[in-house]
Amino acid sequence: MNAGLVMLPAVVAVAVVSAATGCAAGSDIGATVRPADCAGTWYPGDAETLAKEVDELLAAAALPTLTGKPVAVIAPHAGYRWAAPVAAVGYGCLKGHSYKRVIALAFNHRLSGSYRGVDVPAELTAYQTPLGQVPVDRPVCDALAKDSLFASHPGVDRNEWSLELQLPFLQRMLGEFRLVPLLVGRMSDRDWVAAAEAILPWVDDETLLAVSSDFTHYGPNYRFVPFTDDIPDRLRELADAAAAPILKCDNDGFAEHLAKTQDTICGRGPIRLLLRVLSMQGGAQGVRAAFDTSGRMSGDFTNSVTYQSIVLTRPKGTLEGPQRESLLRLARETITAHLNGKGLPAVDAEKLPAALRAPGACFVTLTNRGELRGCIGNMAATGPLYGAVIDNAVSACRDRRFVRNPVTAKELDELHVEISYLTPMQRVSKPGEIIVGRHGLLIVSGGRRGVLLPQVAYSRGWSRDEFLAQTCRKAGLPLDAWSQPAAEIYSFTAEVFGEPE
């Protein structure tokens, strides 16, 4: 159910409306082009009127300050009278940035529980809106369709508005781009991981993840009345609680919010898939761009829907690009010299940037065609960062786990070098503080200690509990040792960067 269904009589209808959905029946403009089913009801059906409305909303949007290029936008999808001002602020944050591809994560309000996995269109070549056609990225859709979790369910997007209402904003902000339209269905815990792994190869610097979701649907019309007093304030509190884990890209935290509150967030599936994708790329940081409720707009909170737009960017690191390149080059030169039996490279420390001469801790990881060949590091700074890179590069070549099959000079051309620059450790007081995708872990108990870097957890799609258990395993402890009073848990973050693949 959506606020647009309740409030639709206030919208001027200029097209035939389906009694079942509130969307226009649409015209058959070609078997491979998805028509603008909801144009003229949920948003203007005339191109000039639509462009003017969207442009005015974008121009009026008060934009938040971002720390980088947006990688994802979560925007509402109620009728434009209600949700468009909030959506405009989120999409306005794309100003000045370009994208060649948009992966849209949406859902079907009526049928999302009727199929497992993710719907990906089999034959569509474009989506139609009054502003023109948006071409479908067929190579990406065809590649995803080879995965068992992705399949075409003909008609699942018919008269569905969650994705369609996002497109005019994307068209006005981005101009030309190719669309990957995905409708999220029923998913298990492991399905989220598998679906994210399938999407990950297509998420690059020129790809935007656009997620469609309204937030709390409150009132008897939505069968959700957890409180009856101070409704505006309580709805704001519920919105804050839902947004908090999203802003930290905390997939486990968002799932816990849903389980604890039964919050009626209609796009919970697309949001969970987004958070899983981003957490498996090292996480993200978000800002809430806008917030409102239909209750405030109508003056009646008997039934109300919450609208939020959230923009996520990549975490900003401490080290600049040239500084990372210098450390990777130093690690490569060190490994080459060591494996060839030569002296370590001479370093003129005075010529290095201050950040590389400052105390620092790091891990150096070596892989060969994706297989681990060595990973050694120090948890706390004992000297300058550049010195830690040199020492750990040598030690990684001598990793005791590979004493029977040590790294050799013959592998130099196939070795991939990765550095994880660590922040100081922080004592964890409760497991909920741990965010997969951001934190690494150190667990100490009974004289044993185990360490796992952040990328170990997020590359495997682990949950928080799995991460804790596997860190215990690394320490040679029972898998549940982290939950015992004697266990000390520490977290740290890492700037992870490596040589080009």
DSSP letters spanning 145-180: TTSTTEE--TTTTTT--TTGGGHHHHHHHHSS-EEE
Paired tokens of 92: 């306005």
Q: How many domains does the chain have?
A: 3
Distance separating alpha carbons of residues 414 and 409, to the nearest angstrom: 10
In terms of domains, do 70 and 183 share one? Answer: yes
In terms of domains, do 413 and 436 share one? Answer: no
Angle between helices 47-60 and 167-174 (to 10 degrees): 70
| Alpha-carbon distances of 460 from 80, 178, 338, 401, rounded to whole Å | 40, 29, 31, 20
User: What is the pLDDT at residue 311?
Assistant: 98
CB 433 within 8 A of CB 483: no
**Residues spanned by the domain of 376:** 321-421
CB 238 within 8 A of CB 260: no
In terms of domains, do 342 and 433 share one? Answer: no
Last residue of a domain, one of 289, 313, 337: 313
Give backbone dihedrals phi and psi of 39, rounded to 5 degrees, phi first: -65, 135
In terms of domains, do 413 and 467 share one? Answer: no
Residue type, 377: G
Paired tokens of 258: 């849903």
In terms of domains, do 342 and 436 share one? Answer: no
DSSP count for the chain of H helices, then E strands: 15, 19
In terms of domains, do 480 and 372 share one? Answer: no
In terms of domains, do 190 and 168 share one? Answer: yes
User: What is the pLDDT at residue 197?
Assistant: 96
User: What is the pLDDT at residue 14?
Assistant: 31
Distance separating alpha carbons of residues 245 and 250, to the nearest angstrom: 5
Angle between helices 251-261 and 231-247 (to 10 degrees): 150
Last residue of a domain, one of 386, 421, 456: 421
> Residue 485 belongs to a domain with what CATH number?
3.30.1490.150
In terms of domains, do 44 and 178 share one? Answer: yes
> Residue 378 belongs to a domain with what CATH number?
3.30.700.20
Paired tokens of 297: 């707009």
Paired tokens of 166: 């996002």
* Positions of the chain with pLDDT under 50: 1-29
User: What is the pLDDT at residue 40?
Assistant: 95
Distance separating alpha carbons of residues 212 and 90, to the nearest angstrom: 11
The helix (run of H) or strand (run of E) holding residue 426 is strand 426-427
In terms of domains, do 362 and 407 share one? Answer: yes
Distance separating alpha carbons of residues 356 and 323, to the nearest angstrom: 7
In terms of domains, do 126 and 232 share one? Answer: yes
Enumerate long-range contacts of 56-59, CB under 8 Å, 24 or more apart: 57/84, 57/85, 57/88, 58/88, 58/91, 58/92, 58/95, 58/169, 58/172, 58/173
Tens of pLDDT along 200-249?
999 999 999 999 999 999 999 999 999 999 999 999 999 999 999 999 99
User: What is the pLDDT at residue 211?
Assistant: 98
Distance separating alpha carbons of residues 45 and 13, to the nearest angstrom: 9
In terms of domains, do 431 and 401 share one? Answer: no
* Residue 265, burial from CB neighbour count under 10 angstroms (0-12, 13-18, 19+): buried
Q: How many residues does the chain have?
A: 501
Pairing of strands 415-422, 361-368: antiparallel
> Residue 26 belongs to a domain with what CATH number?
3.40.830.10
**Residue 136, strand partner residues:** 179
* Residue 223, burial from CB neighbour count under 10 angstroms (0-12, 13-18, 19+): exposed
Paired tokens of 461: 């799609």
Q: Percent helix, strand and coil across the chain, each rounded to 5?
A: 40, 25, 40
User: What is the pLDDT at residue 499?
Assistant: 95
Query: What region does 112 belong to: left with phi over 0, alpha with psi -120 to 50, or beta?
Result: alpha
Contacts of 329 (CB under 8 A, 6+ apart): none
Give backbone dihedrals phi and psi of 416, rounded to 5 degrees, phi first: -115, 130
Last residue of a domain, one of 388, 421, 454: 421
In terms of domains, do 430 and 400 share one? Answer: no
Distance separating alpha carbons of residues 149 and 118, to the nearest angstrom: 6
Q: Can you list the alpha helix ranges (DSSP code H) found in 98-152?
A: 138-144
Q: Which of these, 416, 320, 315, lies nearest to 372 by C-alpha position?
A: 416
| Residue written as token pair 């020129």 | 206
